[in-house]
Amino acid sequence: MNEHPISTDGYKADYPSGSDLKKLISQGEYLKAFELGDEYLRNTEKPDPEIVKQHSLCMSKLGMIEEAIEMLKSLKKISEAPDPELLALLGSFYKRKWLELINSDPANAESALDSSFINYMDGRESGGDFWCTVNASSLALILGRRELSVELADEVIAECWDIYNKHGTTSEFWVPASMGEAYLIKGDFDSATRWYKGARSHVGSSIGQIKTTRTNAKVLLNLLEADDISADEILGCIRKPRIAIFAGHRIDRPGRISPRFPEHISSRIKTLLKKKLIEMKLDIGIASAADGADILFHECLQETGKRTHIILPSPIEHFRTKIFESENENWCERFDRIVQQADRVEISSTSEFISDAVGMYHLSADYMLEYSLDITEAFDGELIPVVIWDQHPAKQPGGTGYIVSRLKKLGYDPVRIPITDLGRTRADRHSGSSPVNEYPYSKLGIYEPVVRPIVVICTGGAGSIEEERASIMNRFLEKVSSICKEESLRMLSAGSITESIYLIMDSVNDARNLIRSIHNCNPPLPEHSLVLHAGLVTMLNSSLSGRRDYYCREIDEALEIAASLKAFSMIATMQFKSIASRKEYPGTVFRYHGRFRSTSGNLLKIFQFSSSCAFRTLFH
């Protein structure tokens, strides 16, 4: 997944440069930068050090801190001369490690803090600019070396003033932001406030730079024991990126009994929506791309130069057929245009059901919500839900009402754009809907697909001979069976192939309790890998085993991930992470681990969790 086997293909001209990756990272497009850098490293025998440095920075932004440190340490060993940028990056990675461990592992946190300070100072002494110096100044203050800290802060102010006097308002964001930090270190809150406020106009599209500035300011304000009013004023000057998650109704289908979102009012609704979105001063908008409100949302943002991310329930071409069914080619053309202009398109499933299966939209809605929360956390931003909604409560998962209910459970109150002037009575608004053409599942001998968690236990590498490996598999099968019986866990389907066992569980709770019990086995079971996924599960009428059988193509994806693991690992996909409610499992830590491309073409986002943290939070 995130390993980089050496290839003899050599450098390809269409690969990104270090500056390309740097620009993407500055804009907060971490996933896009990671994928480009990862592909380059997989296919290049002698990688460009500039690309390696930027890829390691991207990894650290995605939470892969240890991997980023190891990558740069390897580069440092082969560098012919001290590289100030490399040293500064290492300093920043160790600082992230310190922040991550400060409450859970004080000894290793202290070691990381020392390493960070040393690398920043080495970077400064080898010719690094104010970036090295301002961070060394902050860390010196944290380490109790106040005199050195103030001396370094003065050095930063002098250097940044010189740059600012030359370039003024065209200076990079880091110049006024570093001035703000340097004055904060000196305890001059008024000057810090002015410079942080001035830095706002230098951000531009570089919203990926803001979180670091806010994090540093929070640490320093806490260390300096700033009063609440001063702290709020300073942090209020460092703007938060604003991310909108959007949901809204599709255009009414021909023959709808009572109108909800008729075609003739779409232009008027778009005008209202664009006015509201401009007022919100958004940086990124996230939504699906169905004909109707979703497409209007993306058009409004793209027409005003904002970035958009699209989440689809199925592959692009398949989803497009759903829009084509609206019998209005105009919406298909508009769909093609917003997809082409989107900064990112993700799909929650590669399954291509012809029916409008509720499960498709259920998984996609959960995926979109989790994706939005992840991006908001990555930027230390503000999530703003926006809906075009008739205020009907959700009758089934996946629609606008469902997304509103999920958001409210998480404490958000969506901004609602009203659909008005339809000439309906109150009774009309609650009486009708589109004509329902029930899909003939029963005639096909199947049931409507639903979202369910998938668990794969892989024993690959355990045992030295075939008989021993078969015996280990048998032991796992016996243990899983007994756990499910003893704890009344509902396992819908199960099977084994070579060195892996796969299970479809009825709920996330069933999956959680099963994994918890396996983890707590006494005596412990042999080493194994665990893959948690989620997919669309279709129950079949027929069976070879006497129990109901199930169809689910995501099982193959989970088995492929398990087979690809080079060491025993605990892996969860974005799909599983999306259906595992944050409310039920607060504090759960999923660490980004890269992308996995399945044979079906799905590019799965992969997260790693360890027994030391994830089992304590997710499974206990």
The per-residue pLDDT for 56 is 96
pLDDT (0 to 100) of residue 316: 93
pLDDT for 1 beyond 60: no
Question: Which one-letter amino acid corresponds to residue 139?
Answer: L
Global pTM reads 0.89
Q: Which long-range contacts (CB under 8 A, 24 or more apart) does 24-27 make?
A: 24/58, 25/54, 25/57, 25/58, 25/61, 25/208, 26/205, 26/206, 26/208, 26/209, 27/205, 27/206, 27/207, 27/208, 27/307
Average pLDDT over residues 578-595: 77
Is residue 586 predicted with pLDDT exceeding 80?
A: no
Question: Is the previous residue joined to 16 through a cis bond, with omega within 30 degrees of 0?
Answer: no
Domain 242-251+262-420 annotated CATH 3.40.50.450: yes
Residue 123 pLDDT exceeds 50: yes
H or E segment and range at residue 596 = strand 591-597
Amino acid code (one letter) for 370: E
- Of the segments 67-71, 202-206, 498-502, 562-566, which one has the largest average pLDDT value? 67-71
C-alpha torsion 134→138→144→146, nearest 10: 50
Average model confidence (pLDDT) for the chain?
88
Residue 415: CB partners within 8 Å, gap ≥ 6? 276, 280, 384, 385, 386, 387
Q: Average pLDDT in the 429-441 region?
A: 57
The pLDDT of residue 327: 61
Residue 388 sits at φ, ψ, to 5 deg, of -110, 105
pLDDT digits (tens, 9 = 90+) for 366-396: 999 999 999 999 999 999 999 998 888 878 8
Nearest to 18 by CA among 7, 35, 33, 29: 33
Around Cβ 82, how many Cβ atoms within 10 Å?
A: 14
**Mean pLDDT of the region 540-549:** 78
pLDDT confidence of residue 2: 42
Listed in order, the ranges of the chain carrying CATH 1.25.40.10 are 18-237
What's the pLDDT at 519? 86
Q: Is the pLDDT of residue 611 over 80?
A: no
List the beta bridge partners of residue 446.
540
- What pLDDT is attached to residue 418? 82
**Cβ contacts of 585 within 8 Å, gap of 6 or more:** 512, 617, 618
Rounded average pLDDT over 548-558: 91
Is pLDDT of 618 > 60? no
pLDDT of residue 619: 39
- Segment 50-68 shows an average pLDDT of 94
3-state secondary structure 29-91: CHHHHHHHHHHHHHCCCCCCHHHHHHHHHHHHHCCCHHHHHHHHHHHHHHCCCCCHHHHHHHH
Q: Does residue 32 carry a pLDDT above 70?
A: yes
More confidently predicted of 611 and 361: 361
Q: Which two tokens stand for residue 439?
A: 């899909």
Quick one: which of 58, 1, 50 has its CA closest to 27?
Answer: 58
Q: Which of the pair, 583 or 188, is modelled with greater confidence?
A: 188
Q: What is the 3-state secondary structure (H, E, C) of 320-385?
A: HHHHHCCCCHHHHHHHHHHHHHCCEEEECCCCCCCCCCHHHHHHHHHHHHHHHHHHHHHHCCEEEE
Q: What was the pLDDT predicted at 324? A: 74
CATH architecture of 18-237: Alpha Horseshoe (1.25)
Domain boundaries for CATH 3.40.50.450 within the chain: 242-251+262-420
Answer with the residue of higher pLDDT: 156 or 422.
Answer: 156
Q: What's the one-letter identity of residue 199?
A: A
pLDDT band at 492 (very low <50, low <70, confident <90, very high): very high
Alpha-carbon dihedral angle through residues 474, 479, 482, 486, given to the nearest 10 degrees? 180
State the pLDDT confidence band at 608, using cuts at 50, 70 and 90.
confident
| CATH class label, 444-617 | alpha beta
Phi and psi angles of residue 489, each rounded to the nearest 5 degrees, phi first: -85, 140
Residue 465 has a pLDDT of 82
pLDDT of 4 reads 33
If pLDDT is split at 50, 70 and 90, which confidence band does 127 have?
A: very high
Task: Using the CB atoms, write b or e for 510-528: b if 16+ within 10 Å.
Answer: bbbbbbebbbeeeeebbeb
Residue written as tokens 């590019």? Answer: 603
Closest CA to 491 of 525, 542, 449, 455: 455
Q: Quick one: pLDDT band at residue 460, thresholds 50, 70, 90?
A: confident
Length of the chain: 620
The pLDDT-based confidence of 430 (bands split at 50, 70, 90) is: very low
pLDDT at res. 427: 40
Residue 312: strand pairing partners: 347
Q: Which of 157-171, 557-571, 587-601 has the lowest mean pLDDT?
A: 587-601
Q: Which residue has the higher pLDDT, 65 or 9?
A: 65
Average pLDDT over residues 257-285: 91
Asked if residue 545 has pLDDT above 80, the reply is no
Per the listing, tokens 């106040």 go with 146
CA pair distance 439, 522, nearest whole angstrom: 49
For range 231-247, the mean pLDDT: 94
Lowest mean pLDDT among 133-142, 303-312, 448-457, 561-570: 561-570
Q: Does the pLDDT of residue 610 top 70, yes or no?
A: no
Q: Around Cβ 137, how many Cβ atoms within 10 Å? A: 29
Burial 30-69 (b: 16+ CB within 10 A, else e): bbbbbbbbbebbebbeebbbebbbbbbbbbbbbbbbebbb
Tell me the mean pLDDT in the region 280-287.
96
Residue 51 has pLDDT above 80, yes or no: yes
The token pair at 381 is 């931003």
Per mean pLDDT, which range of 59-68, 424-433, 464-473, 529-538 is the poorest? 424-433
Would you say residue 426 has pLDDT above 70? Answer: no
* pLDDT digits 0-9 by tens, 387-421: 998 888 878 888 999 999 999 999 999 999 887 64
- The whole-number pLDDT of residue 614 equals 40
pLDDT at 543: 75
Residue 469 pLDDT > 90, yes or no? no
pLDDT value at residue 584: 58
Q: DSSP labels for 121-153?
A: HHHHHTT--HHHHHHHHHHHHHTT-HHHHHHHH
Percent of the chain with pLDDT over 90: 63
Average pLDDT over residues 154-166: 95
Name the segment(s) of the chain with CATH classification 3.30.70.1230: 444-617
Contact 251, 290 (CB under 8 A): no
Q: In 3-state terms, what secondary structure has residue 452?
A: strand
